[in-house]
Amino acid sequence: MDDDGWAGWPERWVSTDCDVRAAAGAIPPEVKDGFRYDDVPWQRFPHFYGPGEEIPGLLTTLGSGDAEAADRALQQLWTNLHHQGGTIAVGALAVPFLLRIAATGHPGLRARILHLVTEIGRCQHMGDGSREGLLRVAEEPLMVEGSTMCPVDWTIQAARQAVTDDVHLLLPLLTDPDSEVRSVTAYVLAVATDEVSRVSSALRLRLAKEGDPVVRVSLILAIAQLAREHQDDHAPEWARNLWSDPGRPPEVRIGAGLAWLCLVTDPAPDELRALLTDPGTRQYDDLLQPVPWLTWVDPTGLGLRSCIDEMLTAKFPGAVLDDPWGEGPSS
């Protein structure tokens, strides 16, 4: 495209055929519920490896009765819609259908489908376990997709709105018999842009009943993510009450400690630093690795430790800048 074609970018593209937010927002409920793929403008938005028209076929196979074919289709959707941690516009058009397939399709694929939904609606965050980055969802405004040259954040906004529109499909999955599904459902719900009170209440209610350590931490981080983005002034006190209570399960205190550090800019109190660097915390590295936020920080199994390292050495007033574990440079 010549220079004149870029004049006024991206503002001039708002609400045009190049704006995936407009395309996704125009999909009627009956099209989503009826899986009427032909009524969706896939052709406007290519995926990472080909034309967007390929996505409906994969979605159809994913929702079919053939479990092996559905698994292969899901693998291909991951490849096409989530490349090197990045998201792409056509993925936002797929979100409503992915959510419906997750709710009604093969239970064994449910967690992976929901995980893909969240990655479509979240910025590239691989390796970022910082206080500013762990719970961040939005992308830098001028970050663009190479194949469409549209702002990545438009895709994220469209995907998040699709999740918000279908919160009613997600809330029942907080009680799914599969703990991985419950954990990833919290991850998805954390990107909601509206009905925040309803979603947060459901997450807190589930936290009060949940017995699985991974799900507990996922619920805590989901609550904190919503609170951080929507500026809930009560959330830091809530998180502090959790991590400072020795009667709480260790994973709850650890998760709440990370949440509190993401919600405030205060230096870590000595009590919290002692909790997170206690040698006993090491045993939770492997246990909590499946928490979705931690998996993306370090997929090798050191997600929790990487977060603790980065958060406790953050350059906030009063922060200690040496190794928080007392072992020299972090590995």
Task: Indicate whether 305 belongs to any domain.
Answer: yes
Tell me the torsion sign for CA atoms 286, 291, 292, 293.
negative
Reported pTM: 0.90
pLDDT at position 136 over 90: yes
Q: Is residue 178 part of a domain?
A: yes
Alpha helices in the chain (DSSP H): 20-25, 29-33, 55-62, 67-81, 89-104, 110-120, 152-165, 167-170, 179-189, 196-209, 213-229, 235-243, 250-263, 270-277, 284-287, 292-297, 303-312
C-beta separation of 155 from 86 below 8 A? no
Domain total for the chain? 1
Domain assignment present for residue 327? The answer is no
Q: Is 84 within a domain?
A: yes
Nearest to 186 by CA among 133, 135, 237, 260: 135
Between 36-45, 237-246, 322-331, the lowest mean confidence (pLDDT) is in 322-331
The answer to the question of residue 326 being in a domain is no
- Secondary structure of 84-151 in the HEC alphabet? CCEECHHHHHHHHHHHHHHHHCCHHHHHHHHHHHHHHCCCCCCCCCCCCCCCCCCCCCCCECCCCCCE
**How much of the chain, in percent, has pLDDT values that exceed 90?**
74
How many whole angstroms separate alpha carbon 270 and alpha carbon 224?
A: 22
Domain that holds residue 62: 3-312
Q: Which amino acid is at 65?
A: G
CB atoms within 10 A of CB 301: 13
Distance CA 108, CA 263 (A): 34
Asked whether residue 105 is domain-assigned, the answer is: yes
Above 50 in pLDDT, residue 315? yes
* Mean pLDDT of the residues in the chain: 90
What Å distances lie between residue 94 and 44, 97, 138, 139, 170, CA to CA?
Answer: 13, 5, 19, 20, 16
- Of the candidates 307, 315, 321, which has an alpha carbon nearest to the alpha carbon of residue 224? 307
Q: Do 191 and 185 form a contact (C-beta atoms < 8 A)?
A: no
Give the mean pLDDT of 251-268.
97
3-state secondary structure of 72: helix
Q: What is the CATH number of the domain that holds 261?
A: 1.25.10
Going by the DSSP 8-state scheme, the letter that residue 8 receives in this structure is T
111: pLDDT strictly greater than 80: yes
Q: Is residue 219 part of a domain?
A: yes
Tell whether 330 is covered by a domain: no
